Structure 1
């Protein structure tokens, strides 16, 4: 049997962690009094990007900053940006000093605003999200945390700020995006927070058709969730998120029908998620175009995400991974294919046909979701690392043989799973 394609492995290794690199056509507006003044000295920092967008231009831009030498304990965040953008994001990177060239080898001054139109992760390494917003006057991702809880940024960390603007007017558009990180001293921090960034790679919407993408992430630790919000592109017509208890009972948490000016759901009291419980979310799509739409990082593609701050931090769960750092979601289709039929579909799909590949999972029936997900996870993880050596070289046959052998139990469960 064929294992997952190389493009799919790249997808799960990068986009699944940091997928929010692009957005759709935003609503326009003018800068106003809502833009932020910097925090008072000693209480935080402001990161700001200013640039000019030419008429009819759509562009992503980036700028790198260095966190203070004492680091940051972010307890609260505010984001404002002038109209014409759908999101502003602040990423953490692994860099401990300012890089002098991009991943692609392009030399530039990263402290200045520069184009990154293929998304920031095409130019720079990123390790997580610190702050951001999807509406110029709406709720930010982090918002405010309880007393003593903070998202920590290590001293000297290089931070990456990213904007995406569209100027549909006939005049140049002057843009201004600002992120305020409000901090607390080390001695006041009792608990480290993190940011959930759950990303579903299995999206496929047929031309002039409809579909759904649903994913579940189970936590291995007790956590408290402050707020959640969605992220979809312009074909998104519905979103719903549930809490799933250890017995499989689902409680609705958040539902809406908007892909822009996205609302957030704040939890008062905080949402408590115990070990063995899960977050389950679904995006509904309607495609009015003459082509199939697949998951991806550009405005021509779609996304389905759940984002939100929580504590105490579990770095693995932030990206729907387990403690061994393997990506382990459960995907649920909304079609009629059995687990075996879905795998056969994936194995027979030509390389490069992403919509068809992802559609194999979307078209599977709900009841085989756990078994299908376990087979896919076993394959893309190289049998949870057992086949790393066999798959490290150019011998595809040896790699496939190892994965088939090591994933035999998951395959057997898939073969007996039915849609009844």
Structure 2
């Protein structure tokens, strides 16, 4: 048996990673990447090259330092040689180049190095600056309006990440380049941000199908430039909607691709007012003889919505509220009531695996999504901070506090039905 409280608090660490792992794409042709660096004074290029051995699948990382004057990024271009599903450039909290990974390995991070458990296993990250999951050049940031820029503070350590699979019998020479085009400080009128909404509740049964759906409501008016999805190879469908303050859903973006993913451009920009939401769903089909859950590797699955917007609302970037509490609403596609979902979460043995635990949420019915999500959020946040002191090494004291402080949310869940 596992307690709901302990499981959800443990999940918070996984959600904070908000990593993006690659697909199992084919090798493509080496070389052919033509992207010259920006002209002097107009930006900077970050580039990674490495050799992938035959039949090797590997994630690699390299760290760079942003210029001492910082970067006001108004446009981005990405090119990478075939065999990869993505190239990403993360911001980190480091103000000087680290020399030791989170796991205690000493290395020179300015050189290309393996990070095969995902970059977040070795380095702290705070957000995404740029990247692409399409070798034809469709990127996350793209071009922003005049006077709008994504800001990278002076001297920020940046982490570039690639994930390649070489399915050929010959070595694969890879080349990935990211150009960041900048504007001067006095030209910046509005700071932009990058949406990186990550659904932590995915469970796809062996030889089965399921969906993962998440809604994020903004507390501020924002303008969205474009959006893209991200799934792994079991993804067979994706749809995103805008949800008005009256609950009306308007479809924004739909496709059935997990690689060479299209982006949805908004012209004019998509206006999302305070109290409105983005709602997105990933559909999965699992051909394997094992259950699959959310996670950072290709053995796992992901369901994400990514895209640039302005003005920046740091909390909303990660589907959080202004208090930095996880603030998503998760909708299941099954038949369990809210009370049944909570019982399932409490009764699932710890050794049953993440897919079994997350399945309790995925298998709940759509209509109890708000009530179940309120309980989950209350528990993950330690009753919005009220149980921080109690939730130390004493699991029983933590659970007692959560049950007491989240009583109203639990009661609302217990009476919610699937009608």
Q: Which TM bucket (shorter chain)?
A: over 0.9
* Residue equivalent to 1:46: 45
- Looking at structure 1, the residues matched to 416 and 148 of structure 2 have their Cα atoms a distance apart, in angstroms, of 44
> Is contact 2:4–2:342 with CA below 8 Å preserved after alignment?
no
| Range 101-110 or range 10-19, more displaced | 10-19
| RMSD across aligned positions (CA) | 1.2
> Is contact 2:374–2:409 with CA below 8 Å preserved after alignment?
yes
* Residue equivalent to 2:295: 296
* Residue equivalent to 1:101: 100
Indicate the SS of the match to 2:384: coil
Q: Deviations over 1:305-341 (max 9, x none)?
A: 0000000000000000000000010000011000000
- Looking at structure 1, the residues matched to 320 and 17 of structure 2 have their Cα atoms a distance apart, in angstroms, of 10
* Residue equivalent to 1:156: 155
> Is contact 2:6–2:395 with CA below 8 Å preserved after alignment?
no
**TM-score when scaled to structure 1?**
0.98
| Deviation for aligned residue 1:19 | 2.4
* Residue equivalent to 1:253: 252
* Residue equivalent to 1:13: 13
* Residue equivalent to 2:275: 276
> Is contact 1:17–1:319 with CA below 8 Å preserved after alignment?
no
- Looking at structure 2, the residues matched to 145 and 165 of structure 1 have their Cα atoms a distance apart, in angstroms, of 29
* Residue equivalent to 2:233: 234
Q: Deviations over 1:124-145 (max 9, x none)?
A: 0100000010011131000000
| Deviation for aligned residue 1:11 | 3.5
- Looking at structure 1, the residues matched to 17 and 278 of structure 2 have their Cα atoms a distance apart, in angstroms, of 17
* Residue equivalent to 2:306: 307
- Looking at structure 2, the residues matched to 340 and 126 of structure 1 have their Cα atoms a distance apart, in angstroms, of 36
Q: Deviations over 1:361-404 (max 9, x none)?
A: 11000000000000011111110110000002x21111111000
- Looking at structure 1, the residues matched to 374 and 80 of structure 2 have their Cα atoms a distance apart, in angstroms, of 42
Q: Deviations over 1:103-138 (max 9, x none)?
A: 111110000000000000000010000001001113
| Deviation for aligned residue 1:18 | 1.9
**TM-score when scaled to structure 2?**
0.98
Indicate the SS of the match to 2:214: strand
Indicate the SS of the match to 2:4: coil
Indicate the SS of the match to 1:358: helix
* Residue equivalent to 1:382: 382
> Is contact 2:54–2:171 with CA below 8 Å preserved after alignment?
yes
- Looking at structure 2, the residues matched to 10 and 184 of structure 1 have their Cα atoms a distance apart, in angstroms, of 41
| Range 395-404 or range 364-373, more displaced | 395-404
- Looking at structure 2, the residues matched to 348 and 12 of structure 1 have their Cα atoms a distance apart, in angstroms, of 20
> Is contact 1:138–1:261 with CA below 8 Å preserved after alignment?
no
* 1:363 has 2:359 as partner: no
Unaligned residue ranges in structure 1 (runs of 5+) = none
- Looking at structure 1, the residues matched to 161 and 10 of structure 2 have their Cα atoms a distance apart, in angstroms, of 22
